[in-house]
Amino acid sequence: MSVQFDRIALIGIGLIGSSLAYDIRRLGLAREIVVATRSPDTLKRAEELGLGDRYTTSSQDAVKDADLVIVSVPVGASESVAKEISGSLKPGAIVTDVGSTKASVIAQMLPHMPADVHFIPGHPLAGTEKSGPDAGFPGLFEGRWCIFTPVADTDETALKRLRSFWEALGSKVDEMDAEHHDKVLAIVSHLPHIIAYNIVGTADDLETVTESEVIKYSASGFRDFTRLAASDPTMWRDVCLHNRDAILEMLARFSEDLAYLQRAIRWGEGDKIFELFTRTRAIRRSIVQAGQDVDAPDFGRHALDKK
C-alpha cells in the first residue's frame, strides 16, 4: 500500500481513532500521524500504545499542515472541535468525521469550515461496545461499510481521495444524503441500542428477580443485549440527542408493532405470531447470504483477545 497523505491528524483517539491509527500505520497510508485529544491521560495512554508520531492536547496544533483530518469524538462535541480547528486548517485539506449521526454533525461543523477546505462527513459502520484508546484494533473496518454524506458542491477529487483511503482500510464506500442516513441508522443501529439499554434496565429494575439471578440465568439472547447495553454512555447519549427526530419516528413505529404483537399474544393469535416470526427469520437469512454477518457479536472481542 502506498502513502496517500503526508500528514493525518486524528482528533479523538478512542475506539475509532485508535483503530484508524493502527491501520494507517500498518498500511503505510501516511508519512506522519498526529494524535490529538482533550484529556492528557488519554493522550498519555495513546503515546504508550504508540498510536501516533506526534501527540498534543491542542486540536489546533494537530491540524496545522495536515492533509487529512479525521474527527472521532462523540457527536455532541463536533461543534467545539470544528470551532477549535477552523483557523488552523491547511488550504486544500480534507476534513472528515466518523460520527454515528450525520445531519447534526454537518449542522455543527459546516459553518466553521473555511471555503478552501474539503469537508466530507463520513460514518464507518463498524465498532464494538468498548471505548477508549485501549479498545482499538487493526482490521476493524475490513469488509464493513463506510457511508459518506457529502454536502453540496463537494470536490470530486477530494471525494475520490477519501474513498481510496477507506477502501485501503478494506471498507466498502456508499454515499447518501444525511437525512436518509439518519433514518436508516435510526432503525439498524440506534434503536437496537436503545432497546438493549431499556431491556437491561427493565431486568435490573424487576423486584421479583434478583440481580444475581439476572447474572446467573442470563440466557444468550439476553447476554447479546447486555453487550450492546454496555456501550459508551456519552457516545449513545449524544446519538439519542442528535438524531432525535428519526429515532422518535422509528420508536413510534416500533411501539405500534410491539402493541400488535402484545395483542396477538394476549388473544392467543398464534397465526399472527407465526407469520411475523417467519417473516423476520427470512431477513436474517438474507443478511447471512449477502455475507453481511461478519459482525457476529463477539467479532470485536476475538480480535481484542488476540492483542
Ligand X SMILES: O=C(O)C(=O)C[C@]1(C(=O)O)C=C[C@@H](O)C=C1
Q: Are 194 and 240 in contact (CB under 8 A)?
A: yes
Under the binding rule (CB under 6 A), the answer on residue 224 touching ligand X is no
Q: Are 90 and 66 in contact (CB under 8 A)?
A: yes
Under the binding rule (CB under 6 A), the answer on residue 127 touching ligand X is yes
Contacts of 184 (CB under 8 A, 6+ apart): 176
Number of H helices and E strands in the chain, helices first, is 14, 9
Under the binding rule (CB under 6 A), the answer on residue 104 touching ligand X is no
b/e sequence 96-115, b meaning 16+ C-beta within 10 Å: bbbbbbbbbbbebbeebbee
Under the binding rule (CB under 6 A), the answer on residue 15 touching ligand NAD is yes
Name which of ligand NAD, ligand X, none residue 232 binds, using a CB cut-off of 5 to 8 Å depending on partner kind.
ligand NAD
With contacts defined by CB under 6 A, name the span among 2-10, 66-74, 151-159, 205-213 that binds ligand NAD: 66-74
Instruction: For Cα atoms 232, 252, 266, give the angle at the middle one, nearest 5 degrees.
Output: 105
* Residues 267-296 as x/- pattern, contact with ligand X by CB under 6 A: ----------------------------x-
Q: Give which of 3, 84, 101, 79 is closest to 36, Cα–Cα.
A: 84
Q: Give which of 98, 95, 11 is closest to 61, Cα–Cα.
A: 11
Under the binding rule (CB under 6 A), the answer on residue 128 touching ligand X is yes
CB 244 → ligand NAD: shortest distance, Å? 15
Under the binding rule (CB under 6 A), the answer on residue 37 touching ligand NAD is yes
Binders of ligand X among residues 164 to 223 (CB under 6 A) are 189
Under the binding rule (CB under 6 A), the answer on residue 162 touching ligand NAD is no
Answer positive or negative: Cα dihedral of 32, 37, 43, 49: negative
Name which of ligand NAD, ligand X, none residue 73 binds, using a CB cut-off of 5 to 8 Å depending on partner kind.
ligand NAD
CB 127 → ligand X: shortest distance, Å? 3
Binding site residues, ligand NAD, CB under 6 A = 11-17, 37-39, 42, 59, 72-75, 77, 80-81, 98-100, 124, 127-128, 131-132, 135, 232, 235, 239
